[in-house]
Amino acid sequence: MRVLVTGGAGFIGSHVVEVLAARGHEALVFDVREDPAADVRDPAAVRRALAGVDAVCHQAAMVGLGDGVADAAEYVSRNDLGTAVLLAAMAEAGIRRLVLAGSMVVYGEGRYTCVRHGVVRPGPRAVADLDAGRFEPACPACGDDLVPGLVGEDAPADPRNVYATTKLTQEHLAAAWARSTGGSAVSLRYHNVYGPGMPRDTPYAGVASFFRSALARGEAPRVFEDGRQRRDFVHVRDVAAAGAVALEAEAAPGLLTAYNTGSGDPHTVGEMARALAAAYGGPQPVVTGEYRLGDVRHITADSSRLRAETGWKPEVGFEEGMAEFARAGMRGAQAL
């Protein structure tokens, strides 16, 4: 299969290219890092790149939490306009297979259970609570403590920031393209991806990058809130393999299918920081009590649907992955 990988020179995209090549596919890189003219928002450039292509793995995006709404236009331009241009060109070229780099951020908070009210969905955390160090969301019906669990793909979307909103819009655009063309679209909702080649010292990187960059400077990782927020840290090679498997699998025409793409082994942010510091041999993490408005408390994946329907499974365990990441090289700062 001849696959165009947008963002193929980036952190995850470069690993996707490697995995596709190892599985016997021809991967073509379309990325502004390698060619300033390779902008996914440029219809002519995209049409040229799609010549002779069988499928597209769309990794190009502006990533991260964002800064309120100050950079909303840039996020929408790069993520949503870029996706719309790509899909229009795919429709024109008759390309009917798409794998999209989705994100767990479309859910907002994860799945919670109240002893009295069952499964509930807490709203955004109040600034007053965060300032007072009350980080756990409470039951919206009774105010009691909640028990976090795994979120499935059927959970309602609830994006909490500009970046999350653009990622959900990408899925809606891909679904509209699939219905219009009869194509098949798969969105892999990545959880917290980490591993070799992760960008360093950039506001757009994930928490694992922040911690690894601090250790490289000889500084203690700074853990926000109380460090007990739960995440699903999944290795970049496992995510790349999921992309290749999704491209190869039979997918329903005319539909977008979303799959959580996580390790299935949740850990707290504090646990991750301690494991990385121990593997690196650097200073122990410092829990700061600071917070970022727009962050969610707990979000962990139920990735059983992806495993059951494609045969994919993660291969890199948490301890092994953190030990490798502690020694691995990182990229220079990048926004895409």
* Whole-angstrom Cα Rg for the chain: 20
CB 227, CB 278: distance < 8 Å: no
Rounded Cα gap, residues 178 and 97, in angstroms = 9
Rounded Cα gap, residues 114 and 125, in angstroms = 17
Cβ contacts of 50 within 8 Å, gap of 6 or more: 4, 56, 89, 90, 93, 95
Q: Give the distance, in angstroms, between the CA of residue 215 and the centroid of all CA atoms in the same chain.
A: 23
Judged by DSSP in three states, 93 sits in helix
- Decide if 163 is catalytic: yes
Rounded Cα gap, residues 37 and 29, in angstroms = 13
- List the beta bridge partners of residue 258: 187
Catalytic residue (one of 112, 163, 280, 291): 163
Catalytic residue set: 163
